[in-house]
Homo-oligomer: A and B are copies of this chain.
Amino acid sequence: DKEWKVIDYQRLERSYKFKNFKEALDFTNQVGELAEKEGHHPDIYLSWGKVLVKLWTHKINGLHENDFILAAKIDELTKA
């Protein structure tokens, strides 16, 4: 998918495609490292050649400005 989707008005989801498992795992680690740095952790669904990222703010069970900032930073990882 080329964009983030808003699901049920309460979370952001985007999937990223890769050419194999290893590249998807590498991206998972990049997102994980970013999440640790930001102190904000998405759910990451890793499968062969694909990573689905789900992002929301647990405390409010919905979306906060920080979710959109992290979404943009995750997108930046794919452009590096």
List chain B residues, Cβ under 8 A from A21: 32, 35-36, 41
**Interface residue stretch chosen among A2-10, A42-50, A71-79:** A42-50
Query: Which residues of A14-42 have CB atoms within 8 Å of chain B's CB atoms?
Result: 21-22, 25, 28-29, 32, 35-36, 41
Contact B43 A47 (CB under 8 A): yes
**Shortest distance from the beta carbon of A58 to any chain B beta carbon, whole Å:** 8
A36 partner residues in chain B, CB cutoff 8 A: 21-22
Let me know if A46 and B22 touch, CB within 8 A: no
* A36 to B48 Cα, complex, angstroms: 10
Q: Give chain B residues whose Cβ lies under 8 Å from the Cβ of A44.
A: 45-47
Q: Contacts A21-B32, A25-B28, A46-B46 given; 13 further ones with Cβ under 8 A?
A: A21-B35, A21-B41, A25-B32, A28-B32, A28-B46, A29-B29, A32-B46, A41-B47, A41-B48, A43-B46, A44-B46, A45-B45, A45-B46
